[in-house]
A and B are shown apart, each in its own frame.
Chain A
Amino acid sequence: MSSPLAIRGVVPASRLGERPVAPTVSTGIAELDALTGGLPRGGLSEICGPVSSGRTSVLLALMAEMTRRGEVCALVDTGDSFDPHSAETAGVELRRVLWVRCSKSKSAAGGRRSTAIRYPAFAADRRQPAGDCLEQALKATDLLLQGGGFGLVVMDLADIPPETAPRVPLTSWFRFRRAVENTPTVLLVLEQEPHAKSCASLVVKLSAVSRRSSVFSRQDSNPQSAISIQPDEIAVPAHARVLRGLEIHAEVLRDRSQGKKPPRSAKACWESRAAWAGREKLKA
């Protein structure tokens, strides 16, 4: 029997220690879902890893899953590296994707620069694209979170060098966490190393340590060979090889929904296939 003084929506003091379970979103990869339980809504998630570790494959699978359910995604592309063809192949509904392309090599178009100089009152109002692409990405992400309504907001910092990414002030991560809190939005950051620290609800590190077996095609005589060119591999003509995909390993570094330290066995492995590789298994 509930207390007559209980107020709906107010957590009793006796249950304050219990953290409410945040709703999650499936990533579209069963192995990763089994590992993490999905990406939390209203939280900041980080997927990190080096080049060719499968971060973008995970992103496209997630975007395909979100757009399939009718949700709207926003991608803040720091390096202008998004490939719409790969996304289409992965099943992403492109018309539900807002693509913000940041790049310092590009400038705002528009004429009248000479006349603006003649009239400084109007020239003062001309705003050039702000700072470098990292600064642009931070501002654009903040605007998207403030605007609301997006099911997924992705900040792609994967091409930002590891020595540059730590320049993001910690207050920015705190602001993002607060902005996305209590909203149905998933804020996802792709990067090489995790940077959000305690602001992140979920941190997944990807690697491709055993990619060698998946890189080589079936025509290779020794699929388990090292990446360095082997004598028997030289014998195989290059045009007889096909890149069939990647074998991706994931490890959970942080998961707030499961306490401070995730279990040691928090690892998963799956395979991604190249668009031309068909549906056959990668491993022989």
Chain B
Amino acid sequence: MGWPGKAESLIAESLFMFAAIYVPDFPLEAVARAEPELREQAVAVVEGTPPLVHVVAVNERAAQAGVEPGMTKLQAEERLAASQSSSELSGRKDPTLSRPNTLSRPKERRENGGATAGIRQRSAQREAAAHAALLDCACGFSPRVEDTAPDTVLLDLAGLERIFGPPAKMARDVARRCSELGLEANVAVASNPDAALLAARGFPGVTVIPPGEQAERLGGLPVDVLAQSMVDGRWSMAGGQENRQSAIDNRQFLELLDTLDRWGIRNLRALAALPEVAVTERLGQDGLRWQRLARGATSRPLVAIEPPLAFEEAIELDYPAGELEPLSFLLNRMLEQLCARLAARVLAASEVRVRLMLDCGIAEVQNCGIEHRGESNSAIRRFRNSAIHERTLRLPVPMLDAKVFLKLLQLDLQANPPGAPVTKVWLSATPAEPRRAQDGLFLPAAPQAERLEVTLAKIKRVVGATASKSMVESMASGQSSAAGQEKQRAASGTQEVVEELVGSPELLDTHRPDGFTMKKFMSANAAPSSIDYRPSTPITALRLFRPPPAAAVALRDGRPARLTCPERPALAGAVTWCAGPWRSSGEWWSEQAWWREEWDVAVGEALYRIYRDTTGWFVEGSYD
């Protein structure tokens, strides 16, 4: 018989090394990843539409309480409640069941997103995020990764000993990284992918199978693990798509299991001991493949994929969150998971985007139809109205700090609240290479990027991020400040100019007075100075009045003789000296043409610049 163990095969096997990461009870782990405190409680995950809601996964504590997969939701709730009452009667405080129904404890309900304690609905978004986290974990170790199943990932570790150490250490590191990403996984290392996969499914924790010992180590596993392994292999080959063929295969595998059970074959060792020809005659090629799997003698290439750099977490709330505080709890968890995934791929975030689905209540729409026999068939349609509130944090430099992101999101949502209860939260990050710049030893200190962002967000909360004023007013006053970044908003039919209040000014290429734009301030420490001009004499500065106050100017011999300003009484007085007029104009080719006539005047001890345009006289500012 061609059992492995020969010297040639041992040498060949020692060149290959594969690791399998398997997450048992994946729906449950996906839920526990979003709500880590559930690991200390009895939890059952249910799926289906009422009334056909049944349990699909339970944790150990729930199993001890008598909850099993396949039960209805009502049965599971009864078991959990009974177990809780019995523990209370016995006088011992069981932390696993101490959490009562959250309907009576709104605070706890807020913290877990509004779900009923102990029972969680299966969530496709959470499982997708958990699967993406699993792939991120694998990609952090190896460039060759196979997306075997939603709960299973295979990775090629050949040649990575020099980087990560011996196989046992690598397996422990992989398990620890999975734990950091919120997933408790089984990790197995073997010289062929199928043996690693079977070991990960069969043995808890970390397993390392030396080359040539696959059959011996796998022999004690039940035959059932083979069926699931075959299903996952088909899933992987189909690119992760469930299809009709996979359902047929599942039926065939179940029939095969029944046959082996009738033969008294209970574990892989017994299956591996059967003669190959006899197995092929009776069970066909599937049987032969199963036997080779049981011997750990298969060899196949990995179906390597390149996971997309998509970092998104989503959570759907059972009850709408109407306050920012519980929302912050959820955002904190999601941000920590997002940052852990980014860290696993050695990336940082250049942009963080949060989308909130809002519950805007019941909307009523009246459908007016054609009158029929004197009666209007108008009907009132009622439907759940929802809207999306989206906010984006654009970071000046790539960052990877969940606390900073949370603070920035809190400040942003406080400044721009969603305005309605939140039913669903998406959180995504745009990955970027982390900063590797190192400041010079003798360069002056500059604000730390993360602290600066938080400081700027707090300042915007104090002074306001932007200011709006009507464009009509701006044009009438001859000012077009921040013309480059003016955003025309069609709010309630009127156009508004939005000005940034916090930032760094940048001059525009225009002769229009006060033509500048506000840019996002960045601590450009490493960049060299771009100004090579330095005036030898201090420059007389102009202090602008924004908006310029209207003035009444009395002329004598064509020159300003007296200045009156109702908005600023301190400016009023006789003009003791003046110079001008200095005329300028521009943009005559567009609708925003402007012209003005400037005068420098002295009123009392102060010097002012006044100007006249089509709408009258204004005081632009004072020389200081």
A residues whose Cβ falls under 8 Å from a Cβ of B:
28-29, 50-61, 64, 67-72, 79-103, 105-112, 115-116, 118-119, 121-123, 125-130, 136, 139-140, 143-144, 146-151, 158-159, 184, 208, 211, 215-217, 227-229, 233-234, 238-239, 241-243, 245-246, 248, 270-275, 279
B462 on the A face (CB < 8 A): yes
Q: Could you tell me if A158 and B543 are in contact, using CB atoms closer than 8 angstroms?
A: yes
Residues of chain B at interface, number, CB under 8 A: 93
Q: Could you tell me if A215 and B577 are in contact, using CB atoms closer than 8 angstroms?
A: yes
Instruction: Sample 17 A-B pairs with CB under 8 A, ordered by A number.
Output: A61-B538, A67-B529, A69-B444, A72-B447, A79-B545, A82-B505, A84-B505, A91-B531, A91-B539, A97-B505, A122-B420, A125-B414, A143-B459, A149-B451, A149-B452, A238-B578, A271-B537
Q: Name the CB-closest residue of B to A96.
A: B524
Q: Could you tell me if A144 and B506 are in contact, using CB atoms closer than 8 angstroms?
A: no
Instruction: Provide the residues of chain B in CB contact with A84, threshold 8 Å.
Output: 505-507, 516
Partner of B531, one of A55, A68, A217, A273: A68
Instruction: Provide the residues of chain A in CB contact with B309, threshold 8 Å.
Output: none
Q: In the assembled complex, how far is the CB of residue B277 from the closest CB belonging to chain A, in whole angstroms?
A: 73
B193 on the A face (CB < 8 A): no
Q: Known: A110-B416, A115-B419. Contact between A149 and B576, CB under 8 A?
A: no
Q: In the assembled complex, how far is the CB of residue B537 from the closest CB belonging to chain A, in whole angstroms?
A: 5
Q: Known: A100-B501, A245-B540. Contact between A109 and B465, CB under 8 A?
A: yes
Partner of A111, one of B360, B491, B529, B543: B491
* Separation of A22 and B498 alpha carbons in the complex (Å): 43
- Against A, the Cβ 8 Å flags (1 = close, 0 = not) of B512-524 are 0010101101111
Contacts A85-B542, A149-B446, A241-B578 aside, 5 further interface pairs with beta carbons under 8 A come to A98-B504, A108-B466, A116-B417, A122-B323, A272-B540
Instruction: Provide the residues of chain A in CB contact with B559, threshold 8 Å.
Output: 238
**B561-577: which residues lie under 8 A (CB-CB) from chain A?**
575-577
Instruction: Provide the residues of chain B in CB contact with A56, threshold 8 Å.
Output: 541-543, 624
Interface-lining segment among B83-91, B112-120, B399-407, B600-608: B600-608
Q: Could you tell me if B581 and A238 are in contact, using CB atoms closer than 8 angstroms?
A: yes
* Separation of A206 and B606 alpha carbons in the complex (Å): 13
Q: In the assembled complex, how far is the CB of residue B603 from the closest CB belonging to chain A, in whole angstroms?
A: 10
Q: Could you tell me if B468 and A51 are in contact, using CB atoms closer than 8 angstroms?
A: no
B144 on the A face (CB < 8 A): no
* Separation of A217 and B446 alpha carbons in the complex (Å): 43
Q: Could you tell me if A143 and B458 are in contact, using CB atoms closer than 8 angstroms?
A: yes
Q: In the assembled complex, how far is the CB of residue A217 from the closest CB belonging to chain B, in whole angstroms?
A: 7
Instruction: Provide the residues of chain A in CB contact with B416, threshold 8 Å.
Output: 110, 112
* Separation of A170 and B539 alpha carbons in the complex (Å): 33
* Separation of A49 and B578 alpha carbons in the complex (Å): 23
B580 on the A face (CB < 8 A): yes
Q: Could you tell me if B323 and A208 are in contact, using CB atoms closer than 8 angstroms?
A: no
* Separation of A192 and B468 alpha carbons in the complex (Å): 30
Q: Could you tell me if B530 and A93 are in contact, using CB atoms closer than 8 angstroms?
A: yes
Q: Could you tell me if A57 and B539 are in contact, using CB atoms closer than 8 angstroms?
A: yes
- Name which of A90, A119, A227 has the most chain B CB atoms within 10 A of its CB: A119
Q: Could you tell me if A151 and B445 are in contact, using CB atoms closer than 8 angstroms?
A: yes
Instruction: Provide the residues of chain B in CB contact with A105, threshold 8 Å.
Output: 547
* Separation of A85 and B508 alpha carbons in the complex (Å): 10
Q: Could you tell me if A208 and B605 are in contact, using CB atoms closer than 8 angstroms?
A: yes
* Separation of A94 and B504 alpha carbons in the complex (Å): 7
* Separation of A216 and B323 alpha carbons in the complex (Å): 64
Partner of A98, one of B414, B444, B463, B502: B502
**B540-563: which residues lie under 8 A (CB-CB) from chain A?**
540-547, 557-559
Partner of B420, one of A96, A115, A229: A115
Instruction: Provide the residues of chain B in CB contact with A136, threshold 8 Å.
Output: 462-463
* Separation of A70 and B498 alpha carbons in the complex (Å): 31
Q: Could you tell me if B539 and A275 are in contact, using CB atoms closer than 8 angstroms?
A: yes
Partner of B463, one of A90, A101, A147, A215: A101
Q: Could you tell me if B505 and A122 are in contact, using CB atoms closer than 8 angstroms?
A: no
Partner of A122, one of B417, B469, B557, B621: B417
* Separation of A140 and B413 alpha carbons in the complex (Å): 20
Instruction: Provide the residues of chain A in CB contact with B467, threshold 8 Å.
Output: 101, 103, 106-109
Q: Name the CB-closest residue of B to A144.
A: B455
Q: Name the CB-closest residue of A to B523.
A: A72
Q: Could you tell me if A238 and B623 are in contact, using CB atoms closer than 8 angstroms?
A: no
B615 on the A face (CB < 8 A): no
Q: Known: A84-B507, A91-B534, A216-B577. Contact between A108 and B543, CB under 8 A?
A: no
Partner of B447, one of A68, A99, A126, A147: A147
Instruction: Provide the residues of chain B in CB contact with A211, threshold 8 Å.
Output: 605, 607
Q: In the assembled complex, how far is the CB of residue A207 from the closest CB belonging to chain B, in whole angstroms?
A: 9
Q: Name the CB-closest residue of A to B444.
A: A71
Q: In the assembled complex, how far is the CB of residue A177 from the closest CB belonging to chain B, in whole angstroms?
A: 20
Q: Could you tell me if A109 and B498 are in contact, using CB atoms closer than 8 angstroms?
A: yes
B263 on the A face (CB < 8 A): no
* Separation of A84 and B622 alpha carbons in the complex (Å): 14
Instruction: Provide the residues of chain A in CB contact with B540, threshold 8 Å.
Output: 54, 57, 243, 245-246, 272-275
B503 on the A face (CB < 8 A): yes
Q: Name the CB-closest residue of A to B515.
A: A85
Instruction: Provide the residues of chain B in CB contact with A279, threshold 8 Å.
Output: 536-537
* Separation of A59 and B414 alpha carbons in the complex (Å): 35
- Name which of A59, A83, A130, A245 has the most chain B CB atoms within 10 A of its CB: A83
Q: Could you tell me if A239 and B447 are in contact, using CB atoms closer than 8 angstroms?
A: no
Q: Could you tell me if B539 and A52 are in contact, using CB atoms closer than 8 angstroms?
A: no
* Separation of A60 and B621 alpha carbons in the complex (Å): 16
Q: Could you tell me if A241 and B539 are in contact, using CB atoms closer than 8 angstroms?
A: no
Q: In the assembled complex, how far is the CB of residue A128 from the closest CB belonging to chain B, in whole angstroms?
A: 8
Q: Could you tell me if B322 and A122 are in contact, using CB atoms closer than 8 angstroms?
A: yes
Q: Name the CB-closest residue of B to A101.
A: B501
Q: Could you tell me if A81 and B530 are in contact, using CB atoms closer than 8 angstroms?
A: no
B464 on the A face (CB < 8 A): yes
* Separation of A101 and B547 alpha carbons in the complex (Å): 13
Instruction: Provide the residues of chain B in CB contact with A98, threshold 8 Å.
Output: 456, 502-504, 521
Q: Could you tell me if A89 and B535 are in contact, using CB atoms closer than 8 angstroms?
A: yes
B182 on the A face (CB < 8 A): no
Instruction: Provide the residues of chain B in CB contact with A109, threshold 8 Å.
Output: 464-468, 498
Q: Could you tell me if A227 and B458 are in contact, using CB atoms closer than 8 angstroms?
A: no
* Separation of A96 and B446 alpha carbons in the complex (Å): 10
- Name which of B547, B579, B622 has the most chain A CB atoms within 10 A of its CB: B579
Instruction: Provide the residues of chain B in CB contact with A149, threshold 8 Å.
Output: 445-448, 451-452, 523
Q: In the assembled complex, how far is the CB of residue A248 from the closest CB belonging to chain B, in whole angstroms?
A: 8
Q: Could you tell me if A127 and B414 are in contact, using CB atoms closer than 8 angstroms?
A: yes
Q: In the assembled complex, how far is the CB of residue B531 from the closest CB belonging to chain A, in whole angstroms?
A: 5
* Separation of A101 and B535 alpha carbons in the complex (Å): 26
Q: Could you tell me if A119 and B322 are in contact, using CB atoms closer than 8 angstroms?
A: yes
Q: Could you tell me if B504 and A52 are in contact, using CB atoms closer than 8 angstroms?
A: no
Instruction: Provide the residues of chain B in CB contact with A272, threshold 8 Å.
Output: 537-541
* Separation of A94 and B506 alpha carbons in the complex (Å): 7
* Separation of A272 and B542 alpha carbons in the complex (Å): 12
**B268-326: which residues lie under 8 A (CB-CB) from chain A?**
322-324
Q: Known: A125-B324, A130-B462. Contact between A52 and B622, CB under 8 A?
A: yes
* Separation of A94 and B416 alpha carbons in the complex (Å): 29
Q: In the assembled complex, how far is the CB of residue B418 from the closest CB belonging to chain A, in whole angstroms?
A: 6
Q: Name the CB-closest residue of B to A50.
A: B605
Q: Known: A111-B491, A150-B447, A184-B445. Contact between A60 and B504, CB under 8 A?
A: no
Instruction: Provide the residues of chain B in CB contact with A88, threshold 8 Å.
Output: 507
Q: In the assembled complex, how far is the CB of residue B622 from the closest CB belonging to chain A, in whole angstroms?
A: 5
Q: Could you tell me if A94 and B463 are in contact, using CB atoms closer than 8 angstroms?
A: no
Q: Known: A83-B543, A109-B466, A143-B455. Contact between A52 and B413, CB under 8 A?
A: no
Q: Could you tell me if B580 and A239 are in contact, using CB atoms closer than 8 angstroms?
A: yes
B470 on the A face (CB < 8 A): no
